[in-house]
């Protein structure tokens, strides 16, 4: 009897913590999103879904921008990460873990500081643009900061390792005998890649897509530090509504919309690819 209950006793404390501080809060957020009123008048539960339609019509520009930037970031990180992951997995030799460590190195620096360092590097008259301008290679008015390029660049920088790692893990797991068998059967190098390596590495790419698209499209740190006032993303709006304006119902509605859209996308995507595969690859 005691044996049978042991696993539940082990799961209970942490499970309760997650139930109270993760599952219940999601419900609390939906409940707040269905309230009306303001900070001075007080909030009442009215179950009015008007907040949702209001938020979509007011902030659709920022919503679309966030999804587009998230998508761009994901596509660019795949293009940048795949060749690297490939080289490390197949040519890394004894130094594989050293290369992976170097790729993870930015994570030892606070996310906010990393982003500020880019603000510094890309500053209008900073160490890069300043010199290029003084050499006459760039027009005096050229700038990168406060453009979409800077924001997407920052996002790509910050989330690239999340794409490299799962792709690397998937490539590393490929049984090398498959490749030998294929070339013994006179497959060309491109055939080996397209018909063996690429399909077997796709679970890693899919995991990488979740790990980069979700944080990139909901990020507001890069937009704040690198984007200036013209590159506002949905995260910035949620931040302002909650923390500056105290418009809690509206903020909660917007956050629920973002969460709903992303979760729907993730689960639809995981379902289409086989939930376990994606979950395993994401967790690895």
Footprint (CB under 8 A) of other proteins, residues 152-211: 157, 160-161, 175, 177-178, 180-181, 183-184, 189, 210
- Interface stretch with other proteins, choices 46-54, 56-64, 114-122, 133-141 (CB under 8 A): 114-122
Binding test (CB under 8 A) with other proteins, winner from 71, 72, 78, 117: 117
**Scanning residues 14 to 73, which ones bind other proteins (CB under 8 A)?**
14-15, 17-18, 21-26, 28-29, 31-32
DSSP code string of the chain: -HHHHHHHHHHHHHHHHHIIIIIHHHHHHHHHHTEEEETTTEEEE---THHHHHHHHHHHHHHHHHHHHHHHHHHHHHHHHHHHHHHHHHH-GGGHHHHHHHHHGGGGS-HHHHHHHHHHHT-TTSTTHHHHHHTTSS-TT---TTSHHHHHHHHHHHHHHHHHHHHHHHHHHS-HHHHHHHHHTT--HHHHIIIIIHHHHHHHHHHHHHHHHHHHHH--HHHHHHHGGGG--HHHHHHIIIIIS--HHHHHHHHHHHHHHHHHHHHHHHHHH-HHHHHHHHH-
Binding flag, residue 87, other proteins (CB under 8 A): yes
Which residue, 18 or 137, has its beta carbon nearer to other proteins?
18
Q: Are 249 and 43 in contact (CB under 8 A)?
A: yes
43 — phi, psi (to 5°)? -105, 140
Binding flag, residue 79, other proteins (CB under 8 A): no
Give the angle subtended at the CA of 27 by the CAs of 260 and 271, to the nearest 5°.
40
Binding test (CB under 8 A) with other proteins, winner from 62, 73, 212, 218: 218
Binding test (CB under 8 A) with other proteins, winner from 75, 78, 215, 273: 215
Find where tokens 């999601």 sit. Answer: 26
- Interface stretch with other proteins, choices 12-20, 132-140, 142-150, 197-205 (CB under 8 A): 12-20
Binding test (CB under 8 A) with other proteins, winner from 59, 118, 159, 162: 118
Which residue, 57 or 229, has its beta carbon nearer to other proteins?
229
Binding mask 229-268 for other proteins (x = CB under 8 A): ------x--xx--xx----x--xx--x--xx--xx--x--
Smallest distance, Å, CB 68 to other proteins? 16
Which residue, 7 or 136, has its beta carbon nearer to other proteins?
7
Binding test (CB under 8 A) with other proteins, winner from 55, 63, 171, 221: 221
Smallest distance, Å, CB 201 to other proteins? 15
Smallest distance, Å, CB 139 to other proteins? 21
Binding flag, residue 74, other proteins (CB under 8 A): no
Binding flag, residue 283, other proteins (CB under 8 A): yes
């Amino acid at each position: 009897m005691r044996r049978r209950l042991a696993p539940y006793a082990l799961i209970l404390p942490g499970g309760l913590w997650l139930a109270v501080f993760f599952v219940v809060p999601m419900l609390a957020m939906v409940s707040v999103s269905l309230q009306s009123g303001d900070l001075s008048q007080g909030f009442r539960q009215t179950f009015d879904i008007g907040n949702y339609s209001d938020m979509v019509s007011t902030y659709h520009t920022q919503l679309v921008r966030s999804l587009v930037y998230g998508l761009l970031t994901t596509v660019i990180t795949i293009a940048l990460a795949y060749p690297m992951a490939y080289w490390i997995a197949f040519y890394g030799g004894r130094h594989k873990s050293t290369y992976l460590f170097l790729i993870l190195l930015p994570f030892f620096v606070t996310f906010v500081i990393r982003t500020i360092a880019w603000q510094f590097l890309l500053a209008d008259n900073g160490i890069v643009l300043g010199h290029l301008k003084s050499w006459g290679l760039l027009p005096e008015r050229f700038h990168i900061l406060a453009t979409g390029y800077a924001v997407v660049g920052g996002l790509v920088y910050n989330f690239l390792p999340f794409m490299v790692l799962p792709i690397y893990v998937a490539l590393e797991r490929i049984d090398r005998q498959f490749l030998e068998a294929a070339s013994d059967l006179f497959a060309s190098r491109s055939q080996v890649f397209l018909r063996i390596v690429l399909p077997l590495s796709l679970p890693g790419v899919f995991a990488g897509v979740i790990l980069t698209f979700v944080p990139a499209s909901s990020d507001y740190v890069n937009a704040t530090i690198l984007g200036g006032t013209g590159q506002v993303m949905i995260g910035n709006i949620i931040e302002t509504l909650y923390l500056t304006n105290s418009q809690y119902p509206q903020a909660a509605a917007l956050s629920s919309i973002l969460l709903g859209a992303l979760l729907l996308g993730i689960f639809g995507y995981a379902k289409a690819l086989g939930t376990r595969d994606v979950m395993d690859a994401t967790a690895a």
